[in-house]
Chains A and B, each alone.
Chain A
């Protein structure tokens, strides 16, 4: 009788221990399942919250911070892509780059003078980067390809971050970067704050 009690007590304790382990880690709900943990986060897409202009529907409404404007259409990092695409019309080129094991999908839309890349989150596409392709487009502050560092400083001030020959300005939601070669700007890019500077 005594032995049976011991067995019952030990079994109950073991089951409570297993339950406690499962329950304890169930409380850690910040991390989803591995299959879903990074889906659609191809380039830090979900790490946004500080931008005042994030995911708004109006492509011509007033915005804050760094954003690109093309023919009156305002394109900002983390903006929803659908209304922008509708306003811009058919791109010249479109390229899909699914990540290995389909851990997200970059979609690259090329227009005259610039292209932008989107990431997917909750079945919607959002802008993750905007890159100038030639000098027919400018930033809202007037910087285009071939500008000089002086031009950049006049437009954006000297509060930049320098990494090699790249000069970056951040507003929390977007990083605006200029790469210079031989004293001239060869790259203008709006991107998420957590971009991979090695590219590709």
Chain B
């Protein structure tokens, strides 16, 4: 009897210890709610109640800054979600896609090909933004393994408290406010910015010793192509219309050849900026690296037509349930837009995107 009681007490203490560690981990992990919002993107997908999207975007900032799912819905009745993260590497995109397919089977997957230029992990902070937001799964474990830099430890991705323990001295109000529940910072993965910084100059492109994309990147692109074919999904390769970093003709040709060989659609939107109506004096917030809301809406309107015509995506606007869901999303979108314009009017800049800059 006494032994049984001891066991219960031990179990209670063990549970208490685990709960304490989980609490500390949640407290210490960055929340990405008021600055560096890009860190919050990946986890937002899991909050979606309705995970039946016609189109899933995967890739780096060139997807989450340049395409608006709200416009795709409003203009074409296409449901979509962007699974993007800052400098998402191609193996991270692949494993994210593999994981996404456990939740849903979209008709089209859109992959931005800029990451073909990176054949090795770049920075831990980008790895964290791509990986920490994923729940534990086999694709996540594979992605961690493929992404780690030499001085990173696998266990710190499984137990992030081992990485973030030293944040205790920098905890802010944000860490307590969003300890148990975070707010959404994107609109189906689209990170909105309404500010404008026109293009005034474009740096001359550097010559490269080697323009050939690496075997590693082609390997993951092959896996992505295969995965989509196995699941009856149309894979579309795109290059977003941003003018820096430079997209070389040699790279473009490789993607054209790959698409032709694998019977895929590849669109380099840089070739269609006039047709899309992008004006780099008004449609970018950082002098050509990314589009702002105005540019993203133009690009989405243009791309939506291609998606609908090429892949016969149905117009779902007559679906009552979807209409309700997307009406709520539209409200949030408009409210965010108005908030940003008001902030711009009051401060001359957007606080969430400039606080970090001012420190440096």
Q: Are A14 and B210 in contact, CB atoms less than 8 angstroms apart?
A: no
CB–CB A26/B38 < 8 A: no
| Surface stretch bound by B, among A28-36, A77-85, A151-159 | A28-36
Are A187 and B206 in touch, CB under 8 angstroms? yes
Binding stretch for chain B, among A17-25, A49-57, A64-72, A135-143? A17-25
Whether the Cβ atoms of A115 and B204 lie closer than 8 Å is: yes
B348 interfacial by beta-carbon distance below 8 Å: no
**Max chain B C-beta neighbours (<10 A), residue from A14, A32, A39:** A14
**Which of B36, B87, B208, B356 sits near A199, CB closer than 8 Å?**
B208
Beta-carbon contact of A198 and B124 below 8 Å: no
Residues of A within 8 A of B287 (CB): 95-96
In the bound complex, how far is the Cα of B203 from the Cα of A95, in angstroms?
7
Which of the 9-residue segments B72-80, B163-171, B272-280 touches chain A?
Answer: B163-171
Cβ A165 vs Cβ B209 within 8 A: yes
In the complex the two chains form, is A14's CB within 8 Å of B17's CB?
yes
Q: Please report the C-alpha to C-alpha distance between residue A105 and residue B359 in the assembled complex, in whole angstroms.
A: 12
Q: Is B129 an interface residue (CB 8 A)?
A: yes
Q: Which residues of A contact B124 (CB under 8 A)?
A: 34, 37-38
Residue ID in chain A nearest B202 by CB atoms:
A95
Tell me, yes or no, whether B53 is within 8 Å of chain A by CB: no
Asked if B16 and A108 sit within 8 Å, CB to CB, the answer is: no
Q: In the complex the two chains form, is A98's CB within 8 Å of B357's CB?
A: yes
Residue in A6, A31, A33, A100 whose beta carbon sits within 8 Å of that of B86 in the complex: A100
Q: Does B118 contact A (CB under 8 A)?
A: yes
Decide yes or no whether B252 CB sits under 8 A from chain A: no
Q: Are B165 and A198 in contact (CB under 8 A)?
A: no
Contact between A34 and B164, CB atoms less than 8 A apart: yes
Interface centre among A3, A17, A105, A199 (most CB of B within 10 A): A199
A 99-124 binary contact with B (CB < 8 Å = 1; else 0): 11111010010100001000010010
- A131 → B minimal CB distance (Å): 6
CA distance A11 to B39 in the complex (A): 36
Contacts A6-B6, A95-B201 hold; do A100 and B87 have CB atoms under 8 A apart?
yes
In the complex the two chains form, what is the Cα distance from A42 to B38 in whole Å?
17
Q: Any chain A CB within 8 A of the CB of B13?
A: yes
Residue of B nearest to A13 (CB): B13
Alpha-carbon separation in the docked complex, A31 to B162 (Å): 11
* B10 contacts partner chain A, Cβ-Cβ < 8 Å: yes
Within 8 A of B (CB), among A174-200: 177, 179, 181, 186-187, 189, 196-200
Q: Which of B6, B36, B166, B202 contacts A26 (CB 8 A)?
A: B166
> Are A179 and B117 in contact, CB atoms less than 8 angstroms apart?
no
- B245 at interface (Cβ–Cβ under 8 A)? yes
Instruction: Count A-B contacts at CB 8 Å.
Output: 150
- Say if the beta carbon of A133 comes within 8 Å of chain B: yes
Instruction: Kindly state whether residue A76 has any CB partner on chain B within 8 Å.
Output: no
B329 at the interface (CB under 8 A from A): no
Query: Do B163 and A18 have beta carbons less than 8 Å apart?
Result: no
In the bound complex, how far is the Cα of B17 from the Cα of A33, in angstroms? 24
- Is B246 engaged at the interface, CB distance under 8 Å to the other chain? yes
Known contacts A103-B126, A199-B206, A199-B208; A35 and B357 CB within 8 A of each other: no
Residue of A with least CB distance to B214 = A198
Mask: chain B, 153-193; 1 = CB below 8 Å from A; 0 = not: 00000000111111110100000000000000000000000
The yes or no answer to A7 lying at the interface (CB within 8 A) is yes
Give chain B interface residues in 11-62, CB to chain A under 8 Å: 13-14, 16-17, 20-21, 24, 30, 36, 38-39, 60-61
Contact among A40, A97, A101, A197 for B38, CB-based, below 8 A: A101
Return chain B residues, CB-CB under 8 Å to A14: 13-14, 16-17
Closest-CB distance, A45 to chain B (whole angstroms): 12
Contact of A200 with B17 in the complex, beta carbons under 8 Å:
no
Asked whether any CB of chain A lies closer than 8 Å to the CB of B286, the reply is yes
A166 within 8 Å of B (CB atoms): yes
> Across the interface, which residues of A come within 8 angstroms of B161, CB to CB?
21
Residues of B contacting A108 in the complex (Cβ-Cβ under 8 angstroms): 203
By a CB distance below 8 angstroms, the chain B residues around A200 are 117, 206, 245-247
Contact in complex: B21, A34 (CB < 8 Å): no
Q: Which of A14, A94, A120, A200 has the most CB of B within 10 A?
A: A200
Instruction: Tell me the nearest residue of chain A to B129, going by C-beta.
Output: A101
The 3 closest A-B pairs by CB, nearest first: A200-B245, A166-B209, A100-B86
What are 15 A-B contacts with C-beta separation under 8 Å?
A: A31-B151, A38-B123, A39-B360, A95-B202, A95-B244, A96-B287, A101-B126, A103-B125, A103-B126, A110-B204, A163-B210, A166-B210, A196-B118, A196-B122, A197-B210
Could you list which residues of chain B lie within 8 angstroms of chain A, going by C-beta atoms? 5-6, 9-10, 13-14, 16-17, 20-21, 24, 30, 36, 38-39, 60-61, 86-87, 117-119, 122-126, 128-129, 151, 161-168, 170, 201-210, 244-247, 286-287, 289, 353, 356-357, 360
